[in-house]
Amino acid sequence: MEFEPVIGLEVHAQLKTKTKIFCNCSTSFGAPPNTHTCTVCLGMPGALPVLNKKVVEYSLRAALATSCKINRESRFARKNYFYPDLPKGYQISQYELPIAEHGFLEIEAHGRKKKIGITRIHMEEDAGKLTHDPDRPFSMVDFNRTGVPLIEIVSDPDIRSPEEAGAYLRQLRSIVRYLDICDGNMEEGSFRCDANVSIRPVGSETFGTRAELKNLNSFKHVEKALHYEIIRQKEILVENGQVVQETRLWDPDKNTTTSMRSKEEAHDYRYFPDPDLLPLVIDDNWINDVRKSLPELPSAKTKRFIKDFSLSSNNAETLTSGRELAEYFEECTKQFPNPKQVCNWIMGPLMALLNAEGKTISEAPVSASDLAELLKLIDNGIISNKIAKTIFEEMAQTGKAAKQLVKEKHLVQVTDVSAIEEVVSNVLTACPKEVESYKNGKTKLLGFFVGQVMKETKGKANPKIVNEILKEKLK
């Protein structure tokens, strides 16, 4: 029997607001433990939560960018459970009436485009952080993170492979980054994903029993954990066994998942509307204002790059994967209107440099306009492409402009025909055997002669002129 996986993802994105969701404590990271706390986020009796308007605005941005329907009235609910990182004994979340529902994302995987439904987006508060020191007989808790705003984005069970799951997550992360509402860092936990997965016989209309996978803190882990889990469940079904509904933990060292706990049901949490918070009412004006403030989103930008700059869809996607990278490309192309060449230089030398130095595009040591100046020098025949690569590296190291480096290092390309002719003649005289073979039909040797001339001129001869002169002289 053939089986197919059914996958649904729950993403928690930490919102980049300055203060927490229900109090004015700072959300900044890295402060000494328990210094960003107050009566509200510590859950003192009688302390009352006040909703942070920015959290709603950021949630609206996410909802509109994923084509969700906004609920004009939504509610906060208490999700009750006991754990030492949760001082109130309940988490304020949204349950029956989330801020937004019924959206979708368009992804591309296996060479095909596909829509993945978004079930809901809701707001909630984060819990504190526990640290367990194996050498001490107790655990410690830091409440600085308690009350930091999150949105949970729940997908429909529309995903059918680990690759689609990866594409969905990358797309979603790129969107929250474009919107500037979340820094999207999976390793540091500001963009967290739980993956639900079940399998069923191909053609079946009903879903199988699912497992929920946790501890997935990179895209690679999500894909690997899903691969492992799909095989594990298939083996159970093939042997006529039954998959149990449970939460499983990904072990990145062993590349396996292990059972953590049987899945709790919603009624275990005794959800009820939070009596301390009014229903949240959002009017059309606010929605329209937020809609107008949205930036061009990655998918729209990709389409525009393909159309306006005649880029391949692969290149367009890479260039629009981040807002800063796309801006760098557009800025450079504005000053040097050859998009193909700009793209090649960004994907090649610039990326290599950034990777080697562990830098992001916003820290690029060569600015977009400095790169454009360099490309102009190639275009005007002042330097060769090869020398431009060396100059590019020097620009990164010294911060000097391309023109200045060319002057300082006497790297101006030799385009003087008589000067090149002289070198060509010398090369041909020095290699009589090769000249004979060439004349006897081994025309592949042209490359060899070009190489010799370039060597003699330290790469400064204009290759086009070298080729022409060689062909002429070897006739």
Binding site for ligand ADP (CB under 6 A): 6-10, 154-157, 196-198, 207-208, 210, 266
CB of 182 to ligand ADP, least distance (A): 19
CB of 40 to Zn ion, least distance (A): 5
For ligand ADP, the closer of residues 154 and 388 by Cβ is 154
Task: Work out whether 446 is an interface residue with Zn ion (CB under 5 A).
Answer: no
87 binds, among ligand ADP, Mg ion, Zn ion, none (CB under 5 to 8 A by kind): none
CA nearest neighbour of 142 among 130, 153, 133, 160: 130
Rounded to whole angstroms, how far apart are CA atoms 34 and 408?
A: 57
Task: Work out whether 23 is an interface residue with Zn ion (CB under 5 A).
Answer: yes
CB of 196 to Mg ion, least distance (A): 8
8 binds, among ligand ADP, Mg ion, Zn ion, none (CB under 5 to 8 A by kind): ligand ADP
The site string for Mg ion over 397-436 (x = CB under 5 A, - otherwise) reads ----------------------------------------
83 binds, among Zn ion, ligand ADP, Mg ion, none (CB under 5 to 8 A by kind): none
The site string for Zn ion over 24-63 (x = CB under 5 A, - otherwise) reads -x------------x-xx----------------------
Residue nearest to Mg ion (CB): 10
For Zn ion, the closer of residues 23 and 364 by Cβ is 23
25 binds, among Mg ion, ligand ADP, Zn ion, none (CB under 5 to 8 A by kind): Zn ion
CB of 43 to ligand ADP, least distance (A): 24
For ligand ADP, the closer of residues 266 and 356 by Cβ is 266
For 140, other C-beta atoms within 10 Å of its C-beta total 13
Q: Inter-axis angle of helices 53-65 and 162-178, to 10 degrees?
A: 130
CB of 21 to Zn ion, least distance (A): 10
The C-alpha angle with vertex 450 and arms to 445 and 454, in degrees rounded to 5, equals: 150
For Zn ion, the closer of residues 39 and 293 by Cβ is 39
For Mg ion, the closer of residues 10 and 276 by Cβ is 10
Stretch touching Zn ion by CB under 5 A, among 18-26, 115-123, 192-200, 269-277 = 18-26
Please give the order of strands across the beta sheet that includes 90-93.
Answer: 90-93, 77-80, 272-273
38 binds, among Mg ion, Zn ion, ligand ADP, none (CB under 5 to 8 A by kind): Zn ion
Task: Work out whether 148 is an interface residue with Zn ion (CB under 5 A).
Answer: no
Region 231-260 residues binding Zn ion, contact defined as CB under 5 A:
none
For Zn ion, the closer of residues 23 and 165 by Cβ is 23
Size of the site for Zn ion (CB under 5 A): 5
The site string for Mg ion over 2-21 (x = CB under 5 A, - otherwise) reads --------x-----------
Q: Are 106 and 115 in contact (CB under 8 A)?
A: yes
Q: Inter-axis angle of helices 284-293 and 53-65, to 10 degrees?
A: 70
Binding site for Mg ion (CB under 5 A): 10
Instruction: Kindly list the residues in this chain that would bind Zn ion in the complex (CB under 5 A).
Output: 23, 25, 38, 40-41
